[in-house]
Amino acid sequence: LLEYFSQHLGEYENVLSVLEDLNITILKAMDKTKKDYQEASNLEQFVTRFLLKETLNQLQSLQSSLECAMETTEEQTRQERQGPAKPEVLSIQWPGKRSARRLQRNNSMLPSSPHFSTGWTEEDSQWMTQINRLQKLIDRLEKKDLKLEPFEEEVLEENAKSHIMIVQRQMSVIEEEIAEFRLALKQYVESASTQGGCLHVSIQKLPSDSRFIVYEFWENSNAWNRYV
């Protein structure tokens, strides 16, 4: 069986090879997380949770594409075996809005669709872009010593180029001004994210009170100082 399929893998030979490498890489990352997470600082644990969630989101996005492809190919096979079917038959088999959306999604992925014939190039490209961005961030975190910022924004200039700068801000907001504050905070995040040297900006809202915590990841202290 293995010999038979090995002669018909085509493009899926590369896919299976990449999946094997991805599986090994994820298992290694999980093993390291298992060993280091409990002893890590609060900020390091936050970074780990963020990376885990981002990785899971990317994998789920890829899984959705594969499930859509499977549904499309299986439905096409059923139609070929049953012969031409009238649109009314399909509407009876799949009633309701949810099924209608599935039918619309499947029809959009039929072989006449460019997404089907090219292997969903646009969606895969977006997925790979996100994975590459995540991989670069992981590489930077692994190759550089983390410089953890306390509540007070104290900047140490020694060896600034060899550290990732992580800035933490805590802000208390009056309840009546939260809406206005959220708008200003959104503008700040959008502005910071476009700056050179800014790796990521994350916001945490404490449910117990009207406090916001902002985490900023910068390539080094010089990049952060140029922005502020």
Confidence at residue 103, expressed as pLDDT on a 0 to 100 scale: 40
Q: 185, 215 in Cβ contact below 8 A?
A: no
Q: Whole-angstrom Cα distance, residue 140 to residue 132?
A: 12
Confidence at residue 104, expressed as pLDDT on a 0 to 100 scale: 43
Q: Whole-angstrom Cα distance, residue 24 to residue 17?
A: 11
Q: Whole-angstrom Cα distance, residue 148 to residue 165?
A: 7
Sheet holding 211-218, edge to edge: 145-148, 163-172, 211-218, 198-206
Confidence at residue 100, expressed as pLDDT on a 0 to 100 scale: 41
Confidence at residue 120, expressed as pLDDT on a 0 to 100 scale: 45
Confidence at residue 136, expressed as pLDDT on a 0 to 100 scale: 66
Confidence at residue 7, expressed as pLDDT on a 0 to 100 scale: 75
> Does this model's pTM top 0.75?
no
- Angstrom CA distances, 174 to 161, 204, 210, 213, stand at 38, 17, 7, 15
Confidence at residue 141, expressed as pLDDT on a 0 to 100 scale: 57
Q: 58, 130 in Cβ contact below 8 A?
A: yes
Confidence at residue 2, expressed as pLDDT on a 0 to 100 scale: 64
pLDDT below 70 — which residues of the chain? 1-4, 83-163, 207-208
